[in-house]
Amino acid sequence: MATLTIPVEQKKKGSEQEALITGAEAIAIACKLANVDVVTAYPIRPYDTVMQYISQLVADGEMDCEYIVAEGEHSQFEIVKHASACGARTFCGSSGVGWMYAMEALTVTPALRIPLVAMVGNRALDDPGAFGVEHNDALAVRDLGWMLTWVDSAQEALDTALIAYRVAEDRRIFVPLAISCDGAFLTHSQALVQIPSKEQVKKFLPAYNRGDLLLHPDNVISVAPQVNEDWVMEIRRQNFGVTEIACDVIREVYADFEKTFGRKYGNPFFEEYMTEDAEVVLLGMGTLSTPVKVAIRKMREQGKKVGFVRLRWFRPFAGKEIGKCLERFKAIGVLDRDFSFGSPDLSGVVATEVRSAMYSNSATRPPVIGFIGGLGGREVTVPDVEAATEIIFQAAKGKAQPLTQWIGLRG
């Protein structure tokens, strides 16, 4: 028994095992279950917890992989890119400015159709140096062909990591995928998690088959040549093709996940909480779901009809579903744990995307109020959420509100 998977209760639930583990540990265990071949590492908090857990799994003889500590994030991501081109299932990750330091490698990976799975331990971008969560790190690759997903529990982290390999390694997809885990709130806090057996995972996750794109002496190809203006558009169009079918593939994989493991996620793209009869909703990504849900239950007791939509997949952005979902509410408040300085309405990234999705997919035009909060790891408090909800209710009544507001800010 691995020392890191601390069994709280050894009760068997089918072939699953229960353990009290962190989000980072959950991802490490998913890597073990997925039989990852090559892992590259370079320490930066909060991602480094996952590299520590994996190295311990390797040291304990529980996991067999090439574990390479690179000399920096750029090499870290280049090494897995090449390993993946040669047919290895790979895992990598980083945080904050570490992720940004790898940016050149991150940029070139999608066009090469590399199904790398990475974990971003979300962290504020320097300066100022800060460990706390902010989503701008992962969001920096949002236009480059990466798939981006946010999880809010250790269980979801583990399950999504398995789903991530199935989605990314689907021959129709073959692009890198990053799982975002909020620093501290998810990466460093332990919760009870059901760990599936290797046999179940094997059934769900077939071997990575790179086919005609395999870089191997028996399949002589040259990857990433220099081209001129006669080729670039066609290559970009190929990657655009991935985004056209990405939502369908994700749906397929979630359905199969439910069939294999029995855990239901419903709509893969977003989770709806108390929205059935809601007049207004809040929308956000990651672990801010916890204070939001607590606040909603409290407000519901006071008779306020408010619900919550937690976005799981940011890329692909399920514009149609989100537009359809949100059109029935009288006002929407988007909680951004990020910023997009100079954007339309000076909102956060998610609010801007939601407005854009609704413009083309919603039958109604409810006000969308952007809230920027929780930056640098600051707690999003229940009173913060209540105050934001009050503003949304005002907007729903037709009282104009500033389109972007900062919450939890001193002064």
List of residues contacting another protein (CB under 8 A): 111-114, 174, 212-213, 220-225, 227-231, 233-235, 237-238
Shortest gap between Cβ of 86 and another protein (angstroms)? 13
One-letter amino acid identity for 231? W
Q: Helix, strand or coil for residue 148?
A: strand
Shortest gap between Cβ of 316 and another protein (angstroms)? 18
39's enclosing H/E stretch is strand 38-41
Shortest gap between Cβ of 219 and another protein (angstroms)? 8
Q: Which is nearer to another protein, 10 or 226 (CB)?
A: 226
Q: Which is nearer to another protein, 11 or 237 (CB)?
A: 237
**Measured between alpha carbons, how far is 372 from 340 in angstroms, rounded to an integer?**
10
Shortest gap between Cβ of 251 and another protein (angstroms)? 23
DSSP state of 252: H
Shortest gap between Cβ of 82 and another protein (angstroms)? 13
Shortest gap between Cβ of 216 and another protein (angstroms)? 11
Cα Rg of the chain, angstroms: 21
- Within 10 Å of residue 252's Cβ, how many Cβ atoms? 15
**Measured between alpha carbons, how far is 128 from 383 in angstroms, rounded to an integer?**
27
Q: Helix, strand or coil for residue 17?
A: strand
Q: Which is nearer to another protein, 112 or 318 (CB)?
A: 112
Shortest gap between Cβ of 275 and another protein (angstroms)? 40
**Measured between alpha carbons, how far is 382 from 388 in angstroms, rounded to an integer?**
10
Shortest gap between Cβ of 90 and another protein (angstroms)? 15
Q: Which is nearer to another protein, 171 or 198 (CB)?
A: 171
Dump the DSSP string for 123-156.
-PPSSSP--S--SHHHHTTTTTT-EEEE--SHHH
Q: Which is nearer to another protein, 71 or 212 (CB)?
A: 212
**Measured between alpha carbons, how far is 399 from 396 in angstroms, rounded to an integer?**
7
Per the omega criterion (within 30 degrees of 0), is the bond before 268 cis? no
CB 157, CB 178: distance < 8 Å: no
**Measured between alpha carbons, how far is 239 from 300 in angstroms, rounded to an integer?**
44
Phi-psi region of 238 (alpha: psi -120 to 50; beta: other; left: phi over 0): alpha
Q: Which is nearer to another protein, 227 or 409 (CB)?
A: 227
The structure tokens listed for 381 are 């408090």
Q: Which is nearer to another protein, 222 or 302 (CB)?
A: 222
Q: Which is nearer to another protein, 175 or 331 (CB)?
A: 175
Q: Which is nearer to another protein, 227 or 255 (CB)?
A: 227
Shortest gap between Cβ of 1 and another protein (angstroms)? 41
Dump the DSSP string for 287-342.
GGHHHHHHHHHHHHHTT--EEEEEE-EEETT-HHHHHHHHTTSSEEEEEESS--TT
Burial classification of residue 119, based on how many CB atoms lie within 10 Å of its CB (0-12 exposed, 13-18 middle, 19 or more buried):
buried
Q: Which is nearer to another protein, 231 or 359 (CB)?
A: 231
CB 138, CB 168: distance < 8 Å: no
Shortest gap between Cβ of 179 and another protein (angstroms)? 23
